[in-house]
Amino acid sequence: MTAISSSDLVTNLLIFLLASVLGQELIRHVSRLLHTPLMALTNAISSVSFIAALIVLAEPGPETVSLLAAVAVALAATNIVSGFLLTDRILRMFRRRKEEK
């Protein structure tokens, strides 16, 4: 995992570029009403860095490595749990006008 071949790098760059373009398009179309929950949601999603900590934790290494990764797991888990819960809590508050009006 330490040495990345050039073809892997090119593929990763391509993924990065496509994800950027897709991200711009997706975010531009997000309802303006929902920018606050959007921030909570994307923050939770990017805390998928949780899995990076898992991978580092899985492979044998010095104590320092495990400790750093474990702290990262706790931080990412906090964001995942609070981010998704908060997003849902905010989204549930948005209601349309009652139909009788």
Binders of another protein among 4-33, rule CB under 8 A? 4, 8-9, 11-12, 15-16, 19-20, 22-24, 26-33
Site residues (CB under 8 A) for another protein, limited to 61-80: 61-62, 64-66, 68-80
Minimum Å distance from CB 50 to another protein?
6
Does position 100 bind another protein by CB under 8 A? no
Tell the smallest beta-carbon distance from residue 91 to another protein (Å): 5
Q: Do residues 49 and 79 touch, judged by C-beta distance below 8 A?
A: no
For the bound state, the minimum distance from the C-beta of residue 43 to another protein, rounded and expressed in Å, comes to 5
C-beta of residue 21 within 8 angstroms of C-beta of residue 63: no
Cβ burial 11-47 (10 Å sphere, 16+ → b, else e) = eeeeeeeeeeeeeeeeeeeeeeeeeebbebbbbbeeb
Number of residues that bind another protein (CB under 8 A): 87
Contact 47, 83 (CB under 8 A): yes
